[in-house]
Amino acid sequence: MGSKNKLKRFKENETFKNVIQPKREEIEKNMFPLKGKWKEFFGNDNPIVLELGCGKGEYTVGLARQDSQKNFIGIDIKGARFWRGAKSALEESLPNAAFLRTQIELIDQVFAENEVSEIWITFPDPQIKYKRTKHRLTNQSFLARYRHILIEDGVVHLKTDSEFLHGYTLGLLHGLGLDVCYANHDVYKNEGSPWEVLGIQTFYEQQYLEKGKPITYIQFKVS
C-alpha cells in the first residue's frame, strides 16, 4: 500500500466512531477511559470478544454479522489494515464491531479484570526464532494477561497455519495443566470444527490456503 493511501486511511480512521486509538502514554498512566467501561461504549451488557492481531478484521466483522448479542473488538497496531474492517462495519451498520489500535502487550491495561469473554488469535506471526519467544502471542506471559482480563470460563481460540505455533501452544497448555477444549491440526480435512472456524477466512488464511497449507485450530481455557 502506498504512503498516500495509508495517510488517507489514517485520516478516515480518526473520523470513524467505531475506531479507538489511545495514546500509549494515556494507557501506561492508567488514564484510558474505556478500561472497565467497554459496556458503556457499546451501550449494553453483552459479552465482549476480542480479535488479537486482527489485520483487516475479518473475524471481528464476520462474527459481529452472525451474533448481534456479543460485542467484538479487533485489535492491531496497524490502523491502515483494520481501516478495511472498520469501514465495512460502518457501511453494514454493525453496532457491535469496533477496532482498537494498540499493542497487544498492553491488553491488560486497556481491559479490566473479567471484562472479556472470548479471545480470537488469528494467524499471528509464529515468532519461531528462540530469541523471539517473548513475542509469541501464546507464550506464558501473554496467557497470564489473557487470564487477567477473561471471565472465569473465558475461552481462547487460536487459528494458525503454523504447525510450530500449534504444537508449541498445545505443549505449553499441557505442561501448565490448562484445559484444551478442542484441537484440530487440519480443520478443512478433519471434521468437527465449529462453524466460526470453517466459515470465516482471513486475508492471510486465504494466501496459506492457496499454497495448500493445512489450517489448525485450538480452543482452550487459561484458568
Ligand X SMILES: C[S@@+](CC[C@H](N)C(=O)[O-])C[C@H]1O[C@@H](n2cnc3c(N)ncnc32)[C@H](O)[C@@H]1O
Q: Is 202 annotated as contributing to ligand binding?
A: yes
Does 208 contact ligand X by CB under 6 A?
Answer: no
Smallest distance, ligand X to C-beta of residue 78, A: 4
Task: Kindly give the residue spans of alpha helices, DSSP state H, lying in 123-216.
Answer: 140-149, 163-176, 195-199, 203-210
- Residues 73-102 touching ligand X, rule: CB under 6 A, are 76-78, 81
Question: Contact region for ligand X (CB under 6 A) — 14-22, 33-41, 118-126, 176-184?
Answer: 118-126
Q: Please check whether residue 219 is in contact with residue 196, taking contact to mean a CB–CB distance below 8 angstroms.
A: no
Q: Please check whether residue 221 is in contact with residue 178, taking contact to mean a CB–CB distance below 8 angstroms.
A: yes
Does 104 contact ligand X by CB under 6 A?
Answer: yes
Total residues binding ligand X (CB under 6 A): 18
Place of cell 492491531: 76
Does 55 contact ligand X by CB under 6 A?
Answer: yes
Does 18 contact ligand X by CB under 6 A?
Answer: no
Q: Please check whether residue 62 is in contact with residue 84, taking contact to mean a CB–CB distance below 8 angstroms.
A: no
Does 128 contact ligand X by CB under 6 A?
Answer: no
Cα–Cα distance for residue pair 46/87, rounded to 1 Å = 22
86, three cell numbers: 472498520
- Respond yes or no: is residue 125 known to be catalytic: yes
Q: Catalytic positions, please?
A: 125
Binding site for ligand X (CB under 6 A): 53-55, 76-78, 81, 103-105, 122-125, 202-205
